[in-house]
């Protein structure tokens, strides 16, 4: 599986290259060159899987075994979800008249981003320990991303994370989740301006390719493909839980309504 820039102005990279990048060198985002197709037999098999096992199957489509062997992939995803409060990781609550709620808030910080960032943190640790490398993570946050990113890498010796939060724009709980973490590798700064404004200096740093390479900069914001990859499982799991049967042609329709602030769950 190769990853290419959405702007088409740079060469292809593998999953590891996409994981450790912020923006592509041409300013675009890395995405898979090809989107895998799934046949009905695969969908039938996946429909009976737990959320945890479904994530493993999805990730195996985008992370070649030559980079992360399947047993290692399974282990790191199990570790990623080991701190979740619900035994199923994600739970579907059935309400009335066909309305269902997919509960994505059972992670450490109660944000849906815990699901993807916990896995991304484990992918980082796998590659960094293997190659004895160190990276500096830059994160701009409107509230949820910062605390979730911190929890995904806190205490990791090969990572330093720098979080910019917009002063006065986060809730008190969100701010406390970030500023009360006492770890040598966690660095949190409040900045004047809203979340869009504090993203600008971060983009400028990534745009300076030489600087980004020298200091091994990377991002855990939603520009990172690993986050999007894991979030795909939300929709498959919701569909499998809600669809009455996969034996019909065409397959049944399921309407998904996403309450979203910055669009992080649907980008």
Report the catalytic residues: 113
Who contacts 219 (Cβ-Cβ below 8 Å, separation ≥6)? 21, 22, 23, 137, 138, 139, 202, 206
**Residue-wise DSSP of 159-178:** EEEEEEEETTTS-HHHHHHH
Q: Give the C-alpha separation, 136 to 148, whole Å.
A: 16
Q: Tally DSSP H helices, then E strands, for the chain.
A: 10, 8
**Residue-wise DSSP of 196-244:** HHHHHHHHHHHH-HHHHHHTTEEE-STTSHHHHHHHHHHHHHHHHHH-S
Q: Are strands 186-191 and 159-166 parallel, antiparallel or unpaired?
A: parallel
3-state class of 146 per DSSP? helix
Q: Give the C-alpha separation, 142 to 196, whole Å.
A: 8
Q: Which residues pair with 189 in a beta bridge?
A: 164
Q: Give the C-alpha separation, 166 to 40, whole Å.
A: 46
Q: Give the C-alpha separation, 67 to 59, whole Å.
A: 12
């Amino acid at each position: 599986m190769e990853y290419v820039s959405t702007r088409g102005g740079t060469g292809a990279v593998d999953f590891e290259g996409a994981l450790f990048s912020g923006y592509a060198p041409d300013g675009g985002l890395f995405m898979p060159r090809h989107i895998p197709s799934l046949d009905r037999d695969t969908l039938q098999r996946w429909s009976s899987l737990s959320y945890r096992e479904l994530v493993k199957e999805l990730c195996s489509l985008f992370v070649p075994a030559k980079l992360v062997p399947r047993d290692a992939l399974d282990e790191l995803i199990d570790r990623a979800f080991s701190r979740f409060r619900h035994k199923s990781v994600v739970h579907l609550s059935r309400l009335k008249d066909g309305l269902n709620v997919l509960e994505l808030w059972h992670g450490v910080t109660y944000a849906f981003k815990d699901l993807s960032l916990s896995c991304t943190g484990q992918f980082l640790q796998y590659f960094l320990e293997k190659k004895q490398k160190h990276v500096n993570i830059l994160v701009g946050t409107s509230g949820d991303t910062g605390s979730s990113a911190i929890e995904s890498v806190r205490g990791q010796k090969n990572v330093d994370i720098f979080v910019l939060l917009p002063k006065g724009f986060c809730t008190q709980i969100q701010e406390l989740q970030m500023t009360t973490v006492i770890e040598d590798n966690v660095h949190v700064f409040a900045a004047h301006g809203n979340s869009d404004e504090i993203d600008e200096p971060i983009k400028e740093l990534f745009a300076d390719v030489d600087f980004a390479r020298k200091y091994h900069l990377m991002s855990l914001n939603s520009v990172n493909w690993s986050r999007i990859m894991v979030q795909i499982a939300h929709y498959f799991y919701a569909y499998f839980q809600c669809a009455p049967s996969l034996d019909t042609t065409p397959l049944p329709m399921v309407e998904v309504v996403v309450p979203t602030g910055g669009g992080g769950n649907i980008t």
